[in-house]
Amino acid sequence: MVSEVSPLEIERNAGNFFYPETHVNDAGVGLTEKTIDYIVNIKEEPEWVREFRMNGLKIFLGKPMPTHWASRDLEAIVFENIRYYLSSGTQAKRSWEDVPDDVKRTFERLGIPEQERKFLAGVEAQFDSEAVYSNIKAAVGEQGVIFVGSTEGLKNHPEIFRKWFGKVIPTGDNKFSALNSAVFSGGSFIYVPPGVKVKHPLQAYFRINAENFGQFERTLIIVDEGAELTYMEGCTAPKFNTATLHSAVVELVALKGAKIQYITVQNWSANVFNLVTKRAIAHEEAEVKWIDCNIGSRLTMKYPGVVLKGRKARGEVLSIALASNGQHQDTGAKMVHAADETTSNIISKSISIGTGRATYRGLVHVPKHLKNCKNNTECDALLINANSRTDTYPAITVRGTGNSVQHEASVSQVSAEQIFYMQQRGLTAAQAMSLSVNGFVNDLVRQFPMEYSVELKRLIELEMEGSVG
Amino acid sequence: MNRLEIQHLHATIAEQEIIRGLSLTVPKGEVHAIMGPNGSGKSTLAKVLAGHPDYKVTSGSVSMDGEDILALEPDERARRGIFLAFQYPNEIPGVTIANFLRAAVQARLPEGDELEATDYYAKLYEKMDLLEMDRAFTSRAVNEGFSGGEKKRNEILQLAMLEPKYAVLDETDSGLDIDALKVVANGVNSLRGPNLGVLLITHYQRLLDYIIPDHVHVMVQGRIVRSGEKNLALELEEKGYDWLRDELAEPAVA
């Protein structure tokens, strides 16, 4: 039997290639008001967007780096050396035929058009600052589902866009949400009308090709009453010697009874600073589930959150972080309970290899006046070899008497004896480690959609081969 | 050629010599038992044969069917046909026995070949029937929360599945009650045959009531001091190890 090839096959190093730059639009190096004028003009955005961006810049410049609580490695980002906008056009193509050859080759190499044919309801492919391709299957479009880039969303659907844009994550939420607000470009705008259940996932693929560059996509998803959506995002970049910055803002709105599942497999190269703000608002009886897998990058800081705004809303974060040599995965979850009978579940598994470092930060907030709220938090860390480091910073505030919280944490190790035992059965050291890691994440991965669990297992194997050497 | 051959082997751990000039040959198709008092180096020998990284071979050789295996990594030795049933098998949390064995069988196939799932399970169930094991057993995580008896049965199941040329059983009887011991011994006996050489390491004669060895060797202070037929084991049972120690001390080992 030939094993089924994962439709989402993105090998760990498969993203490590790039083509020469052919950008027509380049905002230049550094970030000033001029950069913003350049972006607004090239994208032909309305005046309110210029104001929004300028406000973002002001807040960004005024906020200190969060090094007082986060990694000092953030200081290695030199904002003056980064290019904030690079594109070859601002209109995403509806057909791969119309996408320029070199860019199309990139996405073909990453297998995106093939996956689209196989099992996706729609795809958006972003290359540096702009989506080069965006298309949704006709049947899904006919149900009234909107799936376009952020620029198109704000221009063509202002009545829905402006209602929610920047409302889930205000510009001043943190330094990087402010930065994104100043220079955002690309990302998805999705609207699912009431009662529409989108059967197949919509996918966005974010590709960085250029050096000394920052990618700042902005995603806004609104799923109306009783509707359902699964959205997946993948990302890769070539390995450059200089730092690349990826700083996205993702806002989700699940209206009454809606369900959103948002899946990320982050596979950035080891020079990427991945500083992302992701948050959802769940209205009455809505469900939001973040599935977040962080395999690559130099430093990832990401804490997907759900504000449980309506009665019986439910939020979930399932996350896996793999920190190899020299990498730091600083990840976690935020659950803000703001209504009665809301429930949240956080399961975090981290793996640290060699000098890799995994940090879990969790925030669970249940105010005193609420009743019958529940939170369950589990964080498990696996250490492979003695240099690895793992930290857990759970901040759980649960007030009031009718609410319950459960928190479990564990740290385990793959011992040399365990590896020897497995080697004695014929597995190489790398195979032994990846099997141990797969065993560690197994119960969590089982909850992922099939395509992603296969993909994740492969990524873990490839990562282990690389780290054993 | 068809034998596991250990010649003049010396091995140390943390600079301390444990194996001191040991020679032993196990022809394929035979069962050899090594008996000896605690601390004589029996388990060290097992680990050295399997290539445990904590032990260093300072001189001597170990060959399998004529091929020197000392330069090989533990996994290479395993794939070439040496199997060690551990005295204290490790847990592998979250990995089922079925998946673990599947990975181990897959590792023995030529690169690019994919194990056929139906063939694999057919073979697994055949071996489990042979060992009279409940099929639900293989959906449990490897050794996680296993009793001593379950751990040893799991070792024997792996031995049956991986079909090595030579199997070293390190104190497989330790920690087993008599019923569990019989089950494990039946398993080993059912695997005996012309294609398997067995080195049975044990402290007690008891196991040898159930697995009748072709030869018995006595190990004291890192070498074989006496070899004989199966009745040597009975003699040891009767007299203990002291008489051999005394004997060994006398002729100021030349």
Percent of chain A with pLDDT over 70: 96
Out of A2, A420, A425, closest to residue B104 by CB? A425
A6 pLDDT higher than 60: no
Whether the per-residue pLDDT at A434 is higher than 70: the answer is yes
Section A152-161 average pLDDT: 96
B94·A441 Cβ contact <8 A: yes
The lowest-confidence range among A343-352, A384-393, B97-106 is A384-393
Q: Judge: B75–A441 Cβ closer than 8 Å, yes or no.
A: no
The CA-CA-CA angle for residues A15, A16, A17, to 5°, reads: 100
Q: Which of B147, B216, B135, B211 is nearest to B177 (CA)?
A: B147
Contacts of B104 in chain A (CB under 8 A): 425-427
- Give the pLDDT band (50/70/90) at residue A188: very high
For every residue of A343-384, DSSP letters joined together read: EEEEEEEEEEETT-EEEEEEEEEE-TT--S-EEEEEEEEEEE
- φ, ψ of residue A63 to 5 degrees: the values are -90, 140
Q: Which of A425, A428, A457 to mutate to test the interface with B (most CBs of B within 10 A)?
A: A425
3-state secondary structure at position A153: helix
Question: Is B41 among the domain residues?
Answer: yes
Model confidence at B175: pLDDT above 90 = no
Say whether pLDDT at A428 is over 70: yes
Q: Which residues of A touch B91 (CB under 8 A)?
A: 418
Task: Name the residue among A2, A415, A435 with its Cβ closest to that of B103.
Answer: A435
What tokens appear for A75 in the block? 């200081």
The minimum CA-CA distance between B142 and chain A, rounded to whole Å, is 10
pLDDT at residue A31 is higher than 70: yes
Residue numbers in A near B94 (CB within 8 A): 438-443
pLDDT: which is higher, A212 or A10: A212
Looking at residue A425, what is its pLDDT? Answer: 98
| Any B CB within 8 A of A439 CB | yes
- Percent of chain A whose pLDDT exceeds 90: 59
Instruction: Determine the average pLDDT of the residues in A22-43.
Output: 91
- Min Cα separation B241/chain A (Å): 31
The answer to whether residue B179 is domain-embedded is yes
Residue of A nearest to B84 (CA): A424
Check residue A14 and give its pLDDT. Answer: 67
Residue A341 Rama label (left phi>0; alpha psi -120 to 50; beta): left
pLDDT in tens, B226-254: 999 988 888 888 888 877 777 666 544 44
**Interface contact A417, partner B, CB < 8 A:** yes
Q: Does A413 touch chain B (CB under 8 A)?
A: no
Distance CA B233, CA B244 (A): 13
Asked if the Cβ–Cβ distance from B90 to A3 is below 8 Å, we say: no
Question: A421 in contact with B at a CB cutoff of 8 Å?
Answer: yes
Residue that is written with structure tokens 């989700």 in the block: A252
DSSP string for residues in A62-100: HSPPGGGTS-GGGGG--GGG-B--EES-SPPBSSGGGS-
Q: Could B92 and A418 be called an inter-chain contact, meaning their C-beta atoms sit closer than 8 Å?
A: yes
pLDDT reported for residue B252? 45
% of residues, chain B, pLDDT over 70: 97
Give me the CATH number covering residue B50: 3.40.50.300
- Per the structure, the count of domains in chain B is 1
A438·B95 Cβ contact <8 A:
yes
Q: Which residues of A touch B75 (CB under 8 A)?
A: 423-424, 426-429, 431-432
**Mean pLDDT of chain B, nearest integer:** 92
Neighbours of A196 (CB within 10 A): 19
Spell out which residues of chain B touch residue A384, defining contact as CB-CB under 8 Å.
none
Which one of A5-9, A448-452, B97-101 scores highest in mean pLDDT?
B97-101
In a domain, B126, yes or no: no
CB contact under 8 A, B114 and A3: yes
Whether residue A1 lies within 8 A of chain B, CB to CB, comes out as yes
In one-letter notation, the amino acid at residue A239 is K
User: Strand A130-136 and strand A122-127: pairing?
Assistant: antiparallel
| Predicted confidence (pLDDT) at residue A400 exceeds the cutoff of 70 | yes
pLDDT of residue A9: 36
SS3 state of residue B251: coil
* 3-state DSSP assignment of residue B222: coil
The 10 Å CB-count burial string (b at 16+, else e) for A211-237 is bebbbbbbbbbbbbbbbbbbbbbbbbb
Q: How confident is the model at residue A386 (pLDDT cuts 50, 70, 90)?
A: low
Q: Rounded to a whole number, what is the distance in Å from the CA of A298 to chain B's nearest CA? A: 29
What backbone torsions phi and psi does residue B28 show, to the nearest 5 degrees?
-60, 140
Summarize pLDDT for B195-238 with one digit per residue, the tens.
999 999 998 888 999 999 999 999 999 999 999 998 888 888 88
In angstroms, the CA A62 to CA A85 distance is 22
Among chain A residues, CA nearest to B119: A1
Q: Do B107 and A426 touch (CB under 8 A)?
A: yes
Tell me the pLDDT band of A146, cut-offs 50, 70 and 90: very high
- Residue A418 — very low, low, confident or very high, per pLDDT cuts 50/70/90? very high
CB spacing of A426 vs B78 below 8 angstroms: yes
| Residue B208 placed within a domain | yes
Q: Is the pLDDT of residue A435 over 70?
A: yes
Looking at beta carbons, which residues of chain B come within 8 Å of A457? none
**Is B177 within a domain?**
yes
A424/B contact by beta carbon, under 8 A: yes
A415 near B CB under 8 A = yes
Q: Which two tokens stand for residue A87?
A: 């594109």
Q: What per-residue confidence (pLDDT) applies to B53?
A: 95
Mean pLDDT of A96-125: 84
Contact B107 A431 (CB under 8 A): yes
- Nearest C-alpha in A relative to B86: A421
Find the mean pLDDT for residues B41-60: 96
B62 part of a folded domain = yes
Q: What range defines the domain where residue B224 resides?
A: 3-92+148-249
Cα distances (angstroms) measured from residue A30 to each of A27, A78, A237: 9, 9, 21
- Using one digit for the tens of pLDDT, what is the confidence trace for A11-22? 556 677 777 777
Asked whether the beta carbons of residue A425 and residue B78 sit closer than 8 angstroms, the reply is yes
The whole-angstrom distance between A297's CA and the closest CA on chain B is 27
Burial B151-187 (b: 16+ CB within 10 A, else e): bbbbbbbbbbbbbbbbbbbbbbbbebeeebbebbbbb
Is residue B240 in a domain?
yes
CA atoms within 13 A on the CB side of A91: 4
